[in-house]
């Protein structure tokens, strides 16, 4: 079984992860192209394009400005632990054991 969930608008990329285990996103090259294109937008344009508030658009603008692979535990955070929307809070990935993380890695996909 594969579970597919959407990303959340709320993120916490500042606090340290409880695990150093991580993987490289599957479409990193395409993500880089998209990030490069989105860097050309102003925060106001991002708000309209993404249908988000000005605050979220400003955060998104800053994140695209800082987006630089290669990623590691010093400059990135695992998506499952970074997203803080309702679905992620309900799953409570901070409480996952090593086995739970392995299961999620093999059975969970975040768009």
Is residue 36 one of the residues assigned to a domain?
yes
Q: How many domains does the chain have?
A: 1
Summarised one tens digit per residue, pLDDT across range 46-105 is 999 999 999 999 999 998 998 888 888 888 899 999 999 999 999 999 999 999 999 999
Residue 98 neighbours by CB distance under 10 Å: 9
Distance (Å, rounded) from C-alpha 110 to C-alpha 23?
Answer: 13
| Gap between the Cα atoms of 74 and 88, Å rounded | 22
Q: Is residue 22 part of a domain?
A: no
Which residue segment(s) compose the domain that 70 sits in? 3-12+27-110
Q: Is residue 53 part of a domain?
A: yes
In contact, 73 and 81? CB cutoff 8 Å: no
pLDDT per position as a tens digit, 12-63? 988 888 788 888 888 999 999 999 999 999 999 999 999 999 999 999 999 8
Residue 45 lies in a domain: yes
Q: How many other C-beta atoms can be found within 10 angstroms of the C-beta atom of residue 80? A: 20
- The sign of the CA dihedral 104, 105, 107, 108 is positive
């Amino acid at each position: 079984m594969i579970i597919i969930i959407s990303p959340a608008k709320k993120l916490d990329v500042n606090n340290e992860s409880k695990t150093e285990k991580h993987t490289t996103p599957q479409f990193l090259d395409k993500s880089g192209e998209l990030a490069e294109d989105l860097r050309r937008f102003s925060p106001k344009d991002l708000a309209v394009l993404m249908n988000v508030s000005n605050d979220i658009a400003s955060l998104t603008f800053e994140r695209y400005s800082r987006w630089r692979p290669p990623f590691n535990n010093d400059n990135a955070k695992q998506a499952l632990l970074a997203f803080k929307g309702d679905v992620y809070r309900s799953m409570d990935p901070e409480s996952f054991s090593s086995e739970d993380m392995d299961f999620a890695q093999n059975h969970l996909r975040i768009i």
